[in-house]
Amino acid sequence: MLDDIAQAVLARDEVVRYLRGDYGEHGERARDRVCGYLDELRTTQRHGLYRALQHPLYPILRKIDRQHENLHHVEQAVRHHRIVYASNHKSHTDYLVEPLVLDDNGIRPPLIAAGVNLFGGPLGLIHKHITGAIPVRRNTKDPAYVITLKAYVAEMLKKHDLFFYPEGGRSYSGELKPVKTSLLHAALTAQSPNLVIIPAAIAYDLVLEDHILARQRVKKRQRPFTLELAEMVRYAVGYRSRAIVTFGTPIPASDYDSESRSDVLALTRLVRSRIAALYKVLPTAIFAAAMRPSITRRDLEHRIDQMIEELAARHANLGVTSGRQAIEEAAEPLETRGIIVAEGGRFRVRERSVLRYYGRTIEHLLSTPGRPH
């Protein structure tokens, strides 16, 4: 038996065209493929149990101080609009922090689009039956899957908000990655007159997986999440950080035509530029961007002051106002993390790849990015 969502998906024009053979496959085989993907995508959110999940996750969550900016954009939009949140993607902890920022403030919980690799074992059951996460296969070109995914998201948006990461996976280099169009296009095809996209940016003083991501830099293959989780537990020893989530002005989806490729691309570019501008410039990032293989405290302070002046001129979202403040707030955590060494009034690089990872997080805001060695 098909539920209401599945029936609605099968009745959508793009799915009907696929079933009748417009993409080469038709009949029972085509229908079986669509229904199989629907079974994979189907998710349920149980909010009471979702809130209770904070307790077993407390050992991780207590290490991260959740902060937010411009939440009023969300509070105003949630009264009269269906919302799609589009955020940059730094860490596996994003899935915990960003929805909880909303939940902490009494805002209705969105469904979350997450990589299908997170859905194995007990964690997958939690995602599918409690948190309301939608498993997404990234980088697939199978038309049956792409059409089904877009149709499913469009139908779910009639009843739920959605939080997703348009970059796809996490940034392994630290840089803001190009934005993918598929889920934004799916949101537009919902054709909801009251739908808005709210860009969001999350920034950490320290990213839990920084050493793991930086050493690989480019995602070469999909590793089992259980392996990544074990590595994260290792680097969680002594870990503490702020996570600052900044929300932007809502973008009305009705201003864009889902049938127009140029409109979809324009929306994609706008969302990325908004996320880039919202990204909080924290002391660790600007310290890393200004750092050299070996540099005196005075010279580093001067370099950071120059960067801050440039960033202020570009209206960056600054979380630091001087080189002195940046050094006072960033040097100790970076040294404790084993990334730099401070001795004799000088700073030296210990983990070059990790320092570069943090420096690259603000490259999109600088005309002449720093290149620590």
Residues 32 and 49 in one domain: no
Report pLDDT for 340: 97
pLDDT at residue 116 in the model:
77
pLDDT tens-digit series, residues 204-221: 999 999 998 888 755 555
Residues 62 and 184 in one domain: yes
The number of beta carbons lying within 10 Å of the beta carbon of residue 223 is: 13
CA dist 109 and 344 (Å) reads: 51
pLDDT (0 to 100) of residue 135: 85
Residue 215 confidence (pLDDT): 81
**What value does the mean pLDDT take over residues 217-234?**
62
Q: Report the alpha-carbon angle 118-123-127, nearest 5.
A: 75
pTM for this model (two decimals): 0.90
Domain-embedded: residue 360: yes
Number of domains in the chain: 3
Q: How many residues does the chain have?
A: 373
- Give the domain CATH number at 300: 1.10.10.10
Look at residues 226, 234, 188, 189 and name the one whose alpha carbon lies nearest to residue 337: 234
136 with 241, same domain? Answer: yes
E-strand ranges in the chain read 64-69, 82-87, 111-115, 133-136, 162-164, 195-204, 241-247, 251-252, 280-281, 294-296, 317-318, 340-343, 346-349
Neighbours of 146 (CB within 10 A): 19
Indicate whether 249 belongs to any domain: yes
Mean pLDDT of the chain: 88
Give me the domain span that covers residue 28.
Answer: 4-38
Q: Are residues 236 and 306 in the same domain?
A: no
